[in-house]
Amino acid sequence: MKKIIFLSLIAISLFSCSKEKRSNKAGEKMQDFVIRISNYARQYRPQFIIIPQNGVELIFKHLSPEDGLHTDYLSVINGLGVEELFYNGEYAPDNERLDMLRQVISLKKVMVSEFVSNNNEIANAIDKNLNEGFLCFPRSSNNYDYSFIPDTIVNENSNDIHSLSDAQNYLYLINTKNYASRQDFINAIANTNFDVVLIDLFFENTAFSSSEIQLLKTKANGGKRLVIAYMNIGAAESYRYYWKDHWKLHHPSWLKKPYEGYEDEIWVKFWKKDWQEIIYGNNDSYTKKIIDAGFDGAYLDNVEAYYFLYFD
């Protein structure tokens, strides 16, 4: 019996090591993917801003803080987006990610979106982030889906924002459900003083034009600001322009795994050529559409896809 238990423990250990190695390999593929997106975009716009969301481990070689910072990866990004660092509804600090972010805050801007279900805790969420040098976008109980503009702005100012490092606050507004028209949406943002505005490339199914995006690049108080486009690079969304009617899970084969909680999304094998060509590298790619619309950069969601997808 002891021998069986011992062998079982070895098997579990080997499986865990194998899984970790595959996870690291997938993470390294994601690092490469982000680097390629950034290099492509900067052929057109040398100052194009790239901000990956979550997947904090990617800032390190082999996804390991012990191995040091991944300088090639860091050189092509301007900041890091993080969801729910101190608050996930309730106060629940993620000390592991916090320790990682502390190693890079002197080099890159960190943008934290907190979900605070108790509005009385919003001030604490803001203070926690500001004390670390992070930007904070607090989402109250009615704004889990990024559909509302907050009434107050953290560190509101009239400065001209020329780079992400200048920013003192940001707006995260990728859900347009509360706006009857694209003009209502544009007007609502134009009447704010956020330093950085993060929105979707599309209103419903139509991309914003360069003239519309240009209108958003000036704060209500006259200061200049940055406008960044959301782009999902780890999961395919069935409501996007690139989606084909006959697509479904495993067809194409790189539509790998259901995205729990999001029925319109499927985790993709992001390392596959067909998916990467949707994201960058040609005139019909998502990145090129963002560039053509005049955005200052791209906010890359679901870079943590490597958590869930290991190589076959």
The pLDDT tens digits for 206-242 are: 999 999 999 999 999 999 999 999 999 999 999 999 9
* Residue 12 pLDDT greater than 60, yes or no: no
- The runs of H, that is alpha helices, within the chain are 2-44, 71-75, 95-102, 122-132, 182-190, 210-215, 273-279, 286-292
Question: How does DSSP classify residue 218?
Answer: B
Cα separation of 222 and 14, whole Å?
A: 60
Peptide bond into 65 cis (omega under 30): no
Task: Give how many domains the chain has, as a whole number.
Answer: 1
- State the residue range of the domain holding 167: 2-307
Residue 225, both tokens? 């600001």
Cα separation of 222 and 53, whole Å?
A: 29
Q: Which residues pair with 87 in a beta bridge?
A: 91
> What is the pLDDT, as a whole number, of residue 16?
46
**Would you say residue 312 lies in a domain?**
no
* Residue 113 pLDDT greater than 50, yes or no: yes
Contacts of 131 (CB under 8 A, 6+ apart): none
Q: Which residues pair with 170 in a beta bridge?
A: 196
Residue 289, both tokens? 């559409």
> What is the pLDDT, as a whole number, of residue 90?
96
**Would you say residue 201 lies in a domain?**
yes
**Would you say residue 113 lies in a domain?**
yes
Cα separation of 156 and 125, whole Å?
A: 17
> What is the pLDDT, as a whole number, of residue 309?
73
* Residue 150 pLDDT greater than 50, yes or no: yes
**Would you say residue 81 lies in a domain?**
yes
